[in-house]
């Protein structure tokens, strides 16, 4: 599975997640603020739509990137692309929470590699 630039999906996922993580790790306090705003919105029914819109937006970005890759290669995924995107966002969210609780960069980067492995396994489906 290689992109026109010669990159496979695994490498593309790795680079995308690593790039996102580098941006996040440089300013983790921004993510803490984002979580605080999300929780505030959820505590106030008139603002709850903001949290939903925020996560829908995150998932849409990941979903679009995956769909573009699958379309370019005539590939399909065992899961729906929406389910896969939610899995990626949920994984990142968990890693972010762990990192802001214990700023272990090495562990976080290892965990990101495991997320790439899990995503690839979900895309490829069970080995036959």
Domain contains 2 = no
What's 8's DSSP letter?
B
Number of domains, the chain: 1
Given a cut of 80, is residue 3 above it in pLDDT? no
Give the model confidence (pLDDT) of 77-98 as tens digits. Answer: 889 999 999 999 999 999 999 9
Q: What is the DSSP letter of 126?
A: S
Residue range of the domain that includes 14:
9-124
Residue 14 located in a structural domain:
yes
Place of tokens 């290892």: 110
In sequence order, which ranges of the chain are alpha helices (DSSP H)? 9-26, 28-43, 48-73, 81-101, 105-124
The answer to whether position 1 is within a domain reads no
Q: Is residue 3 part of a domain?
A: no
Q: Let me know if residue 4 belongs to a domain.
A: no
pLDDT given at position 6: 60
What is the reported pLDDT for 1?
A: 41
Average per-residue pLDDT in the chain? 92
Res. 28: pLDDT tops 60 = yes
Mean pLDDT for 32-39 is 97
73's torsion region: left (phi>0), alpha (psi -120 to 50) or beta?
Answer: alpha
pLDDT digits (tens, 9 = 90+) for 36-66: 999 999 999 999 999 999 999 999 999 999 9
Residue 48 lies in a domain: yes
Predicted model pTM? 0.91
| pLDDT at residue 5, rounded to an integer | 56
Sign for the CA dihedral angle at 9, 30, 93, 105 comes to positive
Is 96 among the domain residues? Answer: yes
Q: Which two tokens stand for residue 119?
A: 């995503």
């Amino acid at each position: 599975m290689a992109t026109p630039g010669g990159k496979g999906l695994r490498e593309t996922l790795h680079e995308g997640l690593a790039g996102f993580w580098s941006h996040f790790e440089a300013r983790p306090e921004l993510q803490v603020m984002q979580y605080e705003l999300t929780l505030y919105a959820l505590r106030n029914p008139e603002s709850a739509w903001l949290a939903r819109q925020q996560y829908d937006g995150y998932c849409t970005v990941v979903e679009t990137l995956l769909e573009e890759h699958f379309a370019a290669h005539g590939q399909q995924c065992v899961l729906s692309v929406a389910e896969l995107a939610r899995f990626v966002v949920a994984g990142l969210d968990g890693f972010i929470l762990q990192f802001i609780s214990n700023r272990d960069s090495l562990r976080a980067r290892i965990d990101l590699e495991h997320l790439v492995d899990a995503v690839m396994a979900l895309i490829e489906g069970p080995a036959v």
